[in-house]
Amino acid sequence: MRVNGTTDRTDADEALDAPRGPDPHTGEVHCRPCDVRRAVHRAVTARCGDGGRPYDEQALCDALLVASELTTNAILHGGGVTAYDVDLDGPAVRVSVSDRSDRLPVVAPPLDEHGRTRTGGRGWLIVCRLARDVQVSGLPSGGKRITAVVPVY
């Protein structure tokens, strides 16, 4: 099963949040972290429903967290989500999120410039620790695509 930012919507989904699909002016896909988490959950559970082997519940939680972090980082640091894809890759789920920024993700230091503990800045570290493989690719039209593969079976 493959899910992307412009398909796989139900009438209930449409009623609950902003329309999806790229904004004709900005190219941004109107989605929230919960939309990408929902796509990950559907892709993984659909394989079980199709007679596939059961997934590891804790591993699915890891994949959902990675989906949230990638989406949140694209919104907060990348100028907004321009696309996302979720598909199964053997015993893993592959989550890709694209944004407008060419800046590479970084691990923020635990302390700010005043020596205080940061309240955020750990998302990229979480993604890198939970995913089996992480790739950052530049896009021809600008921006980047981050793909993380998380084992779930």
Q: Which CATH number does the domain housing residue 19 bear? A: 3.30.565.10
The yes-or-no verdict on residue 112 having pLDDT over 70 is yes
Angle, alpha carbons 49-52-55 (nearest 5°): 85
State the chain's mean pLDDT as an integer: 84
Phi and psi torsions of 132, nearest 5°: -75, -35
Q: Which residue, 88, 79, 76, is CA-closest to 121? A: 76
Q: Count the domains in the chain.
A: 1
Is the dihedral angle over the CA atoms 81, 124, 146, 35 positive or is it negative? Answer: negative
The reported pLDDT for the residue numbered 5 is 56
Q: Which ranges constitute the DSSP H helices of the chain?
A: 11-16, 33-49, 57-77, 123-130
Note down the domain range covering 75: 2-151
Structure-model confidence comparison of residues 6 and 58, the more confident one: 58
pLDDT of 113-140, one tens digit each? 888 887 777 899 999 999 999 999 999 9
CA 14 to chain centre: 20
For β-strands 2-4 and 92-99, DSSP reports them as unpaired
